[in-house]
Amino acid sequence: WERHTQTVSDNQLIVVSNRQPYRHTETESGIEVERPTGGLTEGLDPAMRELGGTWVAWGDGDADDAVVDSNDRVLVPPEEDAYTLRRIWLSDEDVDRYYYGLSNRVLWPLCHSFPGKIEYRGSDWDRYKQINEEFANAVIAEASDDPVVWFHDYHLALAPSLVRAQLDTQATLQHFWHIPWPVWDVYRVVPNSHTLLRGLLGNDRIGFHVHRYCQNFLSCVDAAIPEANVDWERQCIRYQGRAITVESIPMGVPVEDIQAEVTSEDARAQAAEFEADHAIPDEARVAIGVDRLDYTKGIPERLDALAHFFDANPEWRGKLTYVQNASESRSRIPAYREVQETVTDAVSEINEQYGTDDWTPVVYTTKRLSRQKLLGLYNEADVAIVSPIRDGLNLVAQEFIAAQTSNDAALLLSSNAGAHDLLGQHALTIDPHDTRQFSSTIETALCMSPHDRRQRMGDLRGIVAQNDLQQWVDSQLDVLRASRQVRPE
Ligand code: G6P
């Protein structure tokens, strides 16, 4: 109680995202709570537990509505009751139009610069606006004294200006955009592009992973919003009597937690079990790729490069196994189903052409691997291949690095991943479309001297440790922390 009293009378933190940190589902033994795994929700949960406040998100668990009060709220995590989770309910049609439609058939391909994949429907736009209003209304209803409202991602571009119109200037609104921001010439193709920008300009701060996306965003504002004044030197926009700061700060991973987990017996045992289950020969070197099945991730191009590698380097047949874990994603969208089929076919082709009775070149699994297993596999692997066509950042690259204990591994990284801006100097850079260069870089990684490999990995680990998740959260919540420090407990 004391904690909540303090939270309300201090600046209150409200996090707003499409996905929620906890889901409630119906099982035979009653209602169960699923804890967060991966990415944003797992990353922010510890900060919410420390600071308290409210998290507004879509309630997508089948028993979420059974646990909320009359204001759609529930305290989480179970038994700890550290913060409030306020659910937004979406009908099937809302999900179809707001999530699969405008968010993932328009904004996702637009921001990743795949304009050819955009499928715009006016009715999706209307529903996107409506759901953004629902999120904004929930924030307004939850807001008390001078809240700090932290929006996340492309699902919620319109909500900030709606909240701004209702809350006075003491509220701090900030947004982190987790995917790329495209250049103006690409951005301008989408209908209502000005309205989306005006929605985001309701914020006081807008964060991106890398500097280039900030520059792209500022160019779009400069070109599209005549009444906005861009100050390039200060990376700030003057708009409607306010100053909006645009800053780049790449998200990190929880390095200490990963290190603790990866050295556990369990992680080692699970990785060994995976290798035995898939008959990976003991003496084989292992390369690994872990992705959502998304056309931005460049998995077919990676498989082309591998086929080229086995073709050009027959001496590596039987001696390198590539493990690809690909989790199904957004399958209601045809472009996602297409990439799933392309990948399945390409894996079969490689395995048929090069595989033998005791060696499978590509071990392909679409199962969700436990965190322990994944970390164990990262630690065992000799090479990680992160080769997106375009990616906002890519946390897999950083997780792989954080999971190394002996530094005896190499990272192949696409120059088109945001993570390349952070890690490119010490990774082996590949161009996902250049099959020959990609294939010869796989060979470079495998043949590199142990000294060179350790040196590069040591440098990469230094960067990842310096930019870990905690410092990302701290930098985003500094306004809140500063205000709490000056107030008596
Ligand atoms: C990627 C993006 C995130 C985004 C997420 C949504 O991981 O980098 O910014 O929030 O996709 O995934 P979902 O499964 O919710 O569509």
DSSP code, position 464: H
Distance, in Å, from the CA atom of 24 to the CA atom of 142, rounded to the nearest integer, reads 22
Residue of the CA atom closest to atom 16 of ligand 1: 330
CB within 8 A of 375, min separation 6: which ones?
A: 258, 261, 262, 267, 399, 403
In angstroms, how far is the first alpha carbon of the chain from the final one? 14
- Concatenating the DSSP letter of every residue in 205-240 gives EEEESSHHHHHHHHHHHHHH-TT-EEETTTTEEEET
Q: Are the C-beta atoms of residues 152 and 40 closer than 8 Å to each other?
A: yes
Has residue 53 got a pLDDT over 90? Answer: yes
Give the CA radius of gyration of the chain: 23
DSSP code, position 427: S
Query: What pLDDT sits at residue 1?
Result: 26
Closest-lying ligand 1 atom to the alpha carbon of residue 19: 15
Does any ligand 1 atom lie closer than 6 A to the CB of residue 37?
no
Closest by CA position to 474, among listed 254, 160, 229, 144: 254
Residue of the CA atom closest to atom 6 of ligand 1: 19
**Average of per-residue pLDDT across 152-157:** 98
Q: Are the C-beta atoms of residues 244 and 199 closer than 8 Å to each other?
A: no
Closest by CA position to 374, among listed 38, 75, 35: 38
Dist. CA 208 → ligand 1 center (Å): 15
What is the interface pTM, i.e. ipTM, of the complex? 0.98
Does any ligand 1 atom lie closer than 6 A to the CB of residue 19?
yes
The rounded percent of the chain whose pLDDT value lies above 90 is 90
Distance, in Å, from the CA atom of 443 to the CA atom of 382, rounded to the nearest integer, reads 12
The pLDDT confidence band at residue 170, using thresholds 50, 70 and 90, is confident
The rounded percent of the chain whose pLDDT value lies above 70 is 96
pLDDT digits (tens, 9 = 90+) for 356-389: 999 999 999 999 999 999 999 999 999 999 999 9
Average pLDDT, the chain: 94
Q: Are the C-beta atoms of residues 147 and 167 closer than 8 Å to each other?
A: yes
pLDDT digits (tens, 9 = 90+) for 426-483: 999 999 999 999 999 999 999 999 999 999 999 999 999 999 999 999 999 887 766 5
Does any ligand 1 atom lie closer than 6 A to the CB of residue 59?
no
Dist. CA 388 → ligand 1 center (Å): 15
- Concatenating the DSSP letter of every residue in 98-114 gives IIIIIIIIIIHHHHTT-
Ligand 1 pocket test, candidate residues 292, 293, 390, most atoms within 8 A of CB? 292
Does any ligand 1 atom lie closer than 6 A to the CB of residue 334?
no
Angle between helices 159-166 and 193-200 (to 10 degrees): 50
Residues 222-230: contacts with CB under 8 Å, at least 24 apart:
223/184, 223/188, 224/184, 224/188, 224/193, 224/194, 224/197, 225/194, 225/197, 225/198, 225/201, 228/201
Distance, in Å, from the CA atom of 121 to the CA atom of 130, rounded to the nearest integer, reads 15
Dist. CA 157 → ligand 1 center (Å): 14
pLDDT digits (tens, 9 = 90+) for 58-105: 999 999 999 999 999 999 999 999 999 999 999 999 999 999 999 999
Residue of the CA atom closest to atom 9 of ligand 1: 178
List the Cα angle 4/74/23 in 5-degree steps: 130
Helix, strand, or coil (residue 470): helix
Has residue 36 got a pLDDT over 80? Answer: no
